[in-house]
Each structure stands twice: as C-alpha cells, then as structure tokens.
Amino acid sequence: MKDFVVIHDPAGKEPEGRIITGNAYAVAKSKGVVMLPVEPALIPRSVFAGWSKRSYGDGIEFAGTHASRGCSLALHAHPEFPTIHWAARVMPVERRISGSLRLASDTTQLHSLAVGIAPITPPVILDETSEPDAHGGWTIYGTAKATIPGDAYIAVQLYGMLTGARITWFAISQSA
C-alpha cells in the first residue's frame, strides 16, 4: 500500500506533512488535497529526507525567450528509493500563459551530489487552453527516476519556459 504526504490543502483542513494511506487518500484527493507518494521510513533520517517543499511568496517567473532554471530544492536522498515525485503551484499573472516545465538536477547547490534525472512523465505543458482550477491557478505534477550514487544530499529544480504565470510553491518527495 502506498503512502502519501500532504503538500497543500486549499481548504486548510489537512496539515502539511501528514502521512495519508489507504482509503483516506481517495477521500483527501476528492477534496482537492495535493499529495505526493512518499516513503515514511525516510522522514526521520534527516530534516530534508522523504519530502521537501518551498514557498515563493508572489512567485518565481520563468520569463524570457529561452528555457531557464529555478525553484531549487534539496533532498536527503537514498539510492534504494530512486523515484522523485514533484508538484508545483502555478498562478497566472497575465491572461495568456504558455510554457513547459520538467524536473532537472541542480548542480549549483553547495555540498550536494549531482544526479541523473530521467523523466517518467513528459514535461507539463500549459497554454491558453489550460483551464485554471477553482482557486485560479494550476497544480502541476511530474515523476522522474534519479540515479543516486549514495546516501547524500541532492538538489533538483524546475527547468523550462513559462510566460504569463509564476510558481508560488514547489515540492518533491522520494519513493521506491
């Protein structure tokens, strides 16, 4: 049975970091709770183990005519759990949005190991046909396999282009 960590609840009823399993997952999902798969045994190993989330206030833009990187996160990763799940909240700042985002390794962070990231899910694409949710934005998701050489801190980030919108939070988790 899979376990999930609560990343965000727009209604504010499920606390961030709560572990949800079994039938409770379907109930929480039906209420719009954002969750990612997680290996609960990892969480006590380190402050950054199992899952990580960072909020960005008014948001980070990926503006420009070329792909860029941003929203770095660190995770105390373990090679026996190679799957990295991610979610990000996208909020519009203009009527017209467009872009594509995916997970990438971040080699700029001090004291973190470089890891290979192989997407399992395709890059998330947003455009003018993307309908925002009831809260006026989009929660996007992805999954990747990471080549983790050993028990160490890794850093990942989002990579791509996104015009007309900003990322207000970004979260990752690790599972088998």
pLDDT in tens, 154-173: 999 999 999 999 999 999 99
Token pair, residue 99, equals 């872009």
**Overall average pLDDT of the 83-112 stretch:** 92
DSSP 77-141: E-TT--EEEEEEEEEESSS--EEEEEEEE-TTSTT-B--EEEESSPPEEE-TTPPP-TTSSEEEE
- What pLDDT, on the 0 to 100 scale, is given for residue 1? 65
Q: Which pTM value belongs to this model?
A: 0.94
Task: Tell me the residue length of the chain.
Answer: 176
Token pair, residue 95, equals 């009527």
The more confidently predicted of residues 144 and 96 is 144
**Which candidate, 34, 41, 36, 121, places its Cα nearest to that of 76?**
41
Residue pLDDT, tens place only, 23-80: 999 999 999 999 999 999 999 998 889 999 999 999 999 876 788 999 999 999 999 9
d(CA 119, CA 123): 8
Residue indicated by tokens 């028990």: 151
- Three-class DSSP category at 171: strand
Asked if residues 123 and 67 have their Cβ atoms less than 8 Å apart, the reply is no
Token pair, residue 33, equals 């709770």
d(CA 86, CA 81): 14
Domains of the chain with bracketed CATH: 45-175 (2.60.120)
